[in-house]
Amino acid sequence: MKEFEKAEREMREKGIKLDKLDAFIDQKNGPIMWLDALCLFWWRNHRLPSPHVLAAEMFDEWDDPVSIDEAQRVLEAIA
């Protein structure tokens, strides 16, 4: 999606370290859709979500449930 590419570019320009998401890939269960979820939220809101919102988005949009603590760790890593 071009919107996601634009969102990803904007996040990188803002200094968000999206390459840090690789550390959160679960080798046993496959990749979690972190980048897609963040790009979708950024595209809609032009900011990063809170941990609660990110966890809800992962469940609602991507059917990929994560804990709020895990979402917090992801957001801290990329900030």
Task: Compute the chain's Rg from CA coordinates.
Answer: 12
3-state class of 74 per DSSP? Answer: helix
Q: Is the pTM of this model over 0.85?
A: yes
Q: Rounded to whole angstroms, how far apart are CA atoms 35 and 26?
A: 14
Rounded to whole angstroms, the Cα distance separating 6 from 46 reads 11
- Measured in degrees and rounded to the nearest 5, phi and psi for residue 30 equal 90, 180
Q: Tokens in use for 14?
A: 């803002």
Residue-wise pLDDT for 37-52, tens only, equals 999 999 999 999 999 9
The percentage of the chain sitting over the pLDDT mark of 90, rounded to a whole number, equals 66
